[in-house]
């Protein structure tokens, strides 16, 4: 990786170096959540994701984004563990308020984590790990085939739409998008 690179790194660059085993659905290209079989044949679905660039409401986005990956496996996100690395304490109240709102909407609980001030970073970052345990059922992209139906229960493009509506609000308004539409969640 060259100096100055920013963004998600392709998993194929390093996954073969890691001891990734003991999972039914392991990390891979296109697999953002993993499925682990437990002793009693239930499945633990988990996903971890950072929020590093969102300025408007990173707390809300961190919870909704991580839980969305659990939902994509056919399950409801029940628990999240969060790590917040703050540039300064001034960001904390806004982040916590967003997390609280998202947890209320999604009906999930924050069950642990870590929060610290790290003055050397350029902006505050949040890493959320979301989990849920279900019995003998999960959605796997390897089983998707031509002719399958997709049932859409919420709006699509949650992460990208959120970032556009919050981080590029001025640009969207200049292109004719109404304030009312930008305020919808």
pLDDT confidence of residue 115: 93
First to last CA, the chain: 36
pLDDT confidence of residue 160: 67
pLDDT confidence of residue 28: 66
Q: What is the pLDDT along the chain (185 residues), one digit of tens a residue?
A: 345 555 666 666 666 676 666 777 766 666 677 777 777 768 888 888 888 876 778 899 889 888 888 887 888 888 999 999 998 898 899 999 999 999 999 899 999 999 999 888 888 888 888 777 676 677 777 777 888 776 665 555 666 677 777 778 888 888 888 888 777 65
- CATH ID of 11-140, from 3.20.20.70, 3.30.465.10, 3.30.1330.10, 3.90.1150.10: 3.30.1330.10
pLDDT confidence of residue 50: 84
Longest dimension (CA), the chain: 56
Residue 46 near residue 36 (C-beta atoms within 8 A): yes
Q: What is the pLDDT of residues 125-164, one digit of tens each?
A: 888 887 776 766 777 777 778 887 766 655 556 666 777 7
Residue 36 near residue 75 (C-beta atoms within 8 A): no
């Amino acid at each position: 990786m060259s100096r100055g690179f920013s963004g998600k790194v392709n998993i194929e660059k390093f996954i073969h170096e890691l001891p990734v085993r003991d999972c039914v659905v392991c990390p891979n290209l296109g697999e953002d959540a993993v499925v682990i079989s437990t002793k009693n044949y239930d499945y633990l679905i988990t996903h971890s994701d950072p929020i590093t660039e969102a300025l408007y409401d990173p707390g809300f986005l961190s919870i909704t984004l991580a839980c969305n990956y659990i939902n994509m496996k056919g399950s409801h996100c029940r628990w999240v563990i969060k790590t917040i690395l703050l540039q300064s304490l001034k960001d904390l109240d806004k982040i916590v308020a967003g997390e609280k709102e998202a947890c209320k909407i999604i009906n999930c609980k924050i069950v642990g984590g870590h929060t610290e001030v790290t003055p050397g970073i350029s902006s505050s970052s949040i890493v959320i790990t979301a989990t849920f345990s279900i019995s003998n059922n999960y959605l796997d992209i390897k089983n998707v085939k031509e002719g399958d139906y997709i049932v859409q229960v919420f709006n699509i493009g949650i992460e990208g739409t959120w970032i556009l509506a919050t981080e590029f609000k001025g640009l969207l308004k200049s292109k004719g998008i109404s304030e009312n539409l930008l305020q919808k969640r």
